[in-house]
Copies of this chain bind each other. A is one copy, B any other.
Amino acid sequence: MTIAAEVICVGTELLLGDILNSNSQYLAKELAALGIPHFYQTVVGDNVDRIHKAIEIAAARSSILIFTGGLGPTPDDLTTELIASYFNTPLVEFPDVIVDIQNKFTQAGREMTPSNRKQALQPVGAALLPNPTGTAPGMIWQPREGLTIFTFPGVPREMHRMWRDTAVLFLKTQGYGQNSIYSRSLRFFGVSESALAEKVEHLFNSTNPTVAPYAGKGEVRLRISARAVSEVAANQLIEPIEREIKQIAGDAYYGTDDDSLASVVGQLLKAKGQTLAVAESCTGGNLGGLLTEIPGSSDYFLGGIISYADRVKVDLLGVNAADLAAEGAVSETVARQMAAGVRAKLGTDWGVSITGIAGPGGGTDRKPVGLVYIGVADPDGGVVGIKYQLGSTRERELIRHMSALRVLNLLRLRLNG
């Protein structure tokens, strides 16, 4: 049999379209990075005969079977027991798992139920694949020469952690990942995917490294991927391309790999020893939420005021009631006063504000859905207000998210320049 991995996702919810199958994409990327060929993906429901059939087909054509889903405590979670029965192997209870599940329930202040015991059953001869963040462990098992089976829970967060912590190491000890793919993602804000792609189009034909564009929620990425024997060798391939892209993109480039606009702003504030406060209307706290996603953000983020009601803008932020009545809550004047107000109230170096119409209701001809004003009060006492029209056909959550990202990007440019 050829060496090849096959991803088998188990779950009727996938066949009903309740869930987007992001696990297949995650594993596909990871297998590519390790240089492991990957020829098929299968999705099968929670059904005894059909899961047995899927195992039969996959085991005949692939040497590494990676299962996700069906490890939970309920009767329709069948993956482990059906893999075992297909290979005529009895299940055995792993006492360590019982203890681990019990501890996790105790920590969460809950009672372990009898059905959770099922999650401690694995085929005789299998090795546990520990699940640090959930109750369902997976397994690594070689039921016969030349066939390796992995099982993971379907919850993406748990699966990713188990893959990174344990499965990758195991695969590397088996000799995979000698010639690996090393990737670096460059992140951009304030430029469209097509505009950026046109500027770097000449790089898309490169084969090692390759360059590929991706559009995310309000931002654009370019991924540079090199195949090489070591990270050092990969970097020598990646760095000239990276330099070229950064030069072409200028200010629009803001970070690499796991950077976010919030983490970059945080690093800049920290480097300058400056502090920040936020005044939020239409985003309702989401800008503070993004800033505090970053561990250690208390070094520079002191807090803020969510002034969803007009009265709170006046009472807590010191917005002038007459200005508010004359120009409306969604106006440059109010945005400026909110930013200056929160800076003064919290005694920070910087104060920023957002006020806008997120929709779906509340828009008018003069102030349509998607109209957003952003205020920035700087350490020297200067205050600016900037108007954005984020598009009246966009959905409420995207308008709110884009508004928060625009503030962070403005701050980044101001802190940089």
Q: Which residues of A contact B (CB under 8 A)?
A: 12-22, 24-32, 38-45, 47, 50, 53-54, 57, 61, 72-76, 104, 107-111, 113-116, 132-133, 155, 157, 192-195, 197-198, 201, 204, 212-215, 223, 225, 278, 280, 282-289, 291-293, 295-298, 301-309, 311-312, 315-316, 345-347, 359-361, 370, 388-398, 400
User: Lowest 7 CB-CB distances: which A-B pairs, in order?
Assistant: A285-B288, A284-B292, A285-B285, A17-B29, A17-B28, A41-B43, A286-B289
Tell whether, in the assembled complex, residue B25 and residue A41 are in contact, meaning their CB atoms are under 8 Å apart: no
Chain B positions within 8 Å of A32 at CB level: 15-17
Chain B positions within 8 Å of A110 at CB level: 192, 195
Chain B positions within 8 Å of A18 at CB level: 212, 214, 223
Whole-angstrom distance between the Cβ of A258 and the nearest chain B Cβ: 13
Chain B positions within 8 Å of A390 at CB level: 108
Can you list 6 A-B pairs with a CB-CB distance of less than 8 A?
A109-B388, A133-B393, A284-B291, A284-B292, A302-B309, A305-B306
Given A278-B285, A285-B280, also A198-B303 (CB < 8 A): no
Tell whether, in the assembled complex, residue B214 and residue A13 are in contact, meaning their CB atoms are under 8 Å apart: yes
Whole-angstrom distance between the Cβ of A212 and the nearest chain B Cβ: 7
Tell whether, in the assembled complex, residue A113 and residue B194 are in contact, meaning their CB atoms are under 8 Å apart: yes
Tell whether, in the assembled complex, residue A212 and residue B76 are in contact, meaning their CB atoms are under 8 Å apart: yes
Interface centre among A74, A104, A347 (most CB of B within 10 A): A74
Tell whether, in the assembled complex, residue A61 and residue B72 are in contact, meaning their CB atoms are under 8 Å apart: no
Tell whether, in the assembled complex, residue A391 and residue B104 are in contact, meaning their CB atoms are under 8 Å apart: yes
Residue in B44, B113, B306, B397 whose CB lies within 8 Å of A293: B397
Given A284-B297, A285-B286, A289-B284, also A74-B309 (CB < 8 A): no
Tell whether, in the assembled complex, residue A389 and residue B108 are in contact, meaning their CB atoms are under 8 Å apart: yes
Chain B positions within 8 Å of A31 at CB level: 17
Chain B positions within 8 Å of A288 at CB level: 280, 284-286, 288, 306, 308
- Stoichiometry, as copies per complex, reads 2
Chain B positions within 8 Å of A396 at CB level: 293, 295
Chain B positions within 8 Å of A28 at CB level: 14-17
Residue in B76, B198, B291, B370 whose CB lies within 8 Å of A114: B198
Tell whether, in the assembled complex, residue A74 and residue B284 are in contact, meaning their CB atoms are under 8 Å apart: no
Whole-angstrom distance between the Cβ of A167 and the nearest chain B Cβ: 16
Given A21-B24, A24-B21, A305-B305, also A40-B50 (CB < 8 A): yes
Residue in B25, B61, B303 whose CB lies within 8 Å of A20: B25
Q: In whole angstroms, how far apart are the Cα atoms of A302 and B57 in the complex? A: 59
Given A25-B17, A132-B393, A303-B308, also A73-B316 (CB < 8 A): no
Chain B positions within 8 Å of A223 at CB level: 18
Tell whether, in the assembled complex, residue A40 and residue B43 are in contact, meaning their CB atoms are under 8 Å apart: yes
Chain B positions within 8 Å of A12 at CB level: 212
Tell whether, in the assembled complex, residue A285 and residue B309 are in contact, meaning their CB atoms are under 8 Å apart: no
Q: In whole angstroms, how far apart are the Cα atoms of A108 and B135 in the complex? A: 55
Whole-angstrom distance between the Cβ of A351 and the nearest chain B Cβ: 13
Q: In whole angstroms, how far apart are the Cα atoms of A293 and B401 in the complex? A: 11
Q: In whole angstroms, how far apart are the Cα atoms of A129 and B192 in the complex? A: 23
Whole-angstrom distance between the Cβ of A404 and the nearest chain B Cβ: 9
Chain B positions within 8 Å of A282 at CB level: 292
Tell whether, in the assembled complex, residue A292 and residue B283 are in contact, meaning their CB atoms are under 8 Å apart: yes
Tell whether, in the assembled complex, residue B104 and residue A393 are in contact, meaning their CB atoms are under 8 Å apart: yes
Tell whether, in the assembled complex, residue B73 and residue A197 are in contact, meaning their CB atoms are under 8 Å apart: yes
Whole-angstrom distance between the Cβ of A153 and the nearest chain B Cβ: 10
Tell whether, in the assembled complex, residue B21 and residue A17 are in contact, meaning their CB atoms are under 8 Å apart: no
Given A17-B25, A285-B280, also A40-B41 (CB < 8 A): no
Tell whether, in the assembled complex, residue A278 and residue B297 are in contact, meaning their CB atoms are under 8 Å apart: no
Q: Give the nearest-CB partner of A27 in chain B.
A: B17
Chain B positions within 8 Å of A312 at CB level: 302-303, 346
Chain B positions within 8 Å of A109 at CB level: 388-389
Tell whether, in the assembled complex, residue B301 and residue A284 are in contact, meaning their CB atoms are under 8 Å apart: yes
Residue in B38, B108, B213, B278 whose CB lies within 8 Å of A74: B213
